Structure 1
């Protein structure tokens, strides 16, 4: 009859069964919780921002109310930050920027929550595996010291098995923990930057700046078209200015007595 899984692990890992099991459990829970947070922050949940960029060109009270109603049920951080920004729409631009800045600091701490523990687990578990290696070697040498006859493989098996099993278990826990901690950190920083960029554009939009929400989202063709349009407008303005100057000069010449 096969033994329960816990008894099998106890035989293979010895005294380090519970410490390694706790580290593995904490790592799994943190990784699952971070993955769930990533699902809440999927880009498709912020589709309203794409629609707003296509439709709105300047902030009006009606558009503000419509946007508030649209994001009132949103669960993403960007939706909550936009709601906070719109709720303080009557404040000055500098005050809104300060409020959003403080809010972003708090949200970044939430996105990075638990990742330090995951990194610590990734550091501790290889050391626990190394400790198991030392304990396994000590047990092996004790077995050899109690034997008066020749050394047999069975005398080496238990000690070397404990040494190798604990080292392998520590590395199996540490590698995913460290890898996921770094990946989640990169994702959190990137997400915070995207949220800050979007809120800055929305703040300009509230200020009445036309085309604010399209900054950074224009294609190369659109940028070239806008540049050509601006250049043409500049040339026309300069031409008109020259014409006005020439007209004024001619008027002065005509007005002088011969």
Structure 2
């Protein structure tokens, strides 16, 4: 609590931002863990069912998983009777919907990574202003008090950088996961459109035409 007294309101703001950032990072890590799947294995299993015209088996296969790829492919199976162009437009809309879910919270982390060092610098500047405002009263042994005031003012800069660095690293990792998932979804759409053009699953009864 003594440190927070030195850092002032800025340090409390940085602490709140750090708690929120940690919560988002942990939630996103868990989310991506749930989203993990083997796309090649899934596409192979789905392709077999489409070849046999087994709509029920294809739907059950896709409903058994919780990943974005499962949901996108499930939409394709449900609308299998639609023509290829309409199906591709529908799948692209679904991919955008999934990407929105994947990117949730990342914009907040991006903002924190930018403003945390600035907030820390602002806290230090405010502390230095207070030190220099009292500078005329410093002399001789009082210079030790001035030095103490300076290091207290630097606390917020350290706090800001300590928050920004791990947030930047986490954000970079999470963005790479989003990019990987986007590529997986794009390949999934290509796969399902190829199966459609090849005439696979012509006997599949989609839920919608």
TM-score by length of 2: 0.85
Aligned residue for 1:43, secondary structure, equals coil
**Contact in 2 for aligned 1:118/1:181 (Cα 8 Å):** yes
Determine the C-alpha separation between the residues in 2 that align with 1:130 and 1:173. Answer: 13
Give the one of 100, 105, 108 matched to 1:114: 105
Question: Given the superposition, is the C-alpha separation of residues 59 and 208 from structure 1 closer, same or farther in structure 2, using an over 3 Å criterion?
Answer: farther
Greater RCO, CA 8 A, separation 6+: 2
**Contact in 1 for aligned 2:11/2:159 (Cα 8 Å):** no
Name the counterpart of 2:203: none
Deviation at 1:108, TM superposition (A): 1.2
Deviation at 1:153, TM superposition (A): 4.9
Determine the C-alpha separation between the residues in 2 that align with 1:95 and 1:135. Answer: 60
Name the counterpart of 2:42: 49
Determine the C-alpha separation between the residues in 2 that align with 1:174 and 1:125. Answer: 6
Pairs within 5 Å for 1:10-89: 10-44=4-38, 48-49=41-42, 51-52=44-45, 56=48, 59-62=51-54, 64-89=55-80
**Contact in 2 for aligned 1:12/1:161 (Cα 8 Å):** no
Name the counterpart of 1:181: 171
Give the one of 53, 57, 81 matched to 1:90: 81
Determine the C-alpha separation between the residues in 2 that align with 1:9 and 1:38. Answer: 36
Bigger mean CA deviation after superposition, 164-173 or 133-142: 133-142
Name the counterpart of 2:160: 170
Determine the C-alpha separation between the residues in 1 that align with 2:50 and 2:27. Answer: 39
Determine the C-alpha separation between the residues in 1 that align with 2:135 and 2:141. Answer: 7
Aligned residue for 1:90, secondary structure, equals coil
Name the counterpart of 1:99: 90
Name the counterpart of 1:231: none
Aligned residue for 1:13, secondary structure, equals helix
Instruction: Say whether residues 1:201 and 2:191 are aligned partners.
Output: yes
Aligned length, in residue pairs: 200
Could you say which structure has the larger radius of gyration?
1
Question: Given the superposition, is the C-alpha separation of residues 141 and 41 from structure 1 closer, same or farther in structure 2, using an over 3 Å criterion?
Answer: same
Question: Given the superposition, is the C-alpha separation of residues 93 and 139 from structure 1 closer, same or farther in structure 2, using an over 3 Å criterion?
Answer: same
Structure 2: where are the runs of 5+ without partners?
201-209
Deviation at 1:67, TM superposition (A): 1.8
Per-residue CA deviations over 1:34-89 (Å, capped at 9, x if unaligned) read 10111012235x57516527x72962322x32121122232111111111110001
Per-residue CA deviations over 1:163-189 (Å, capped at 9, x if unaligned) read 221111000111111222222222212
Give the one of 137, 140, 145 matched to 1:146: 137
Structure 1: where are the runs of 5+ without partners?
1-6, 211-258
Deviation at 1:24, TM superposition (A): 0.7
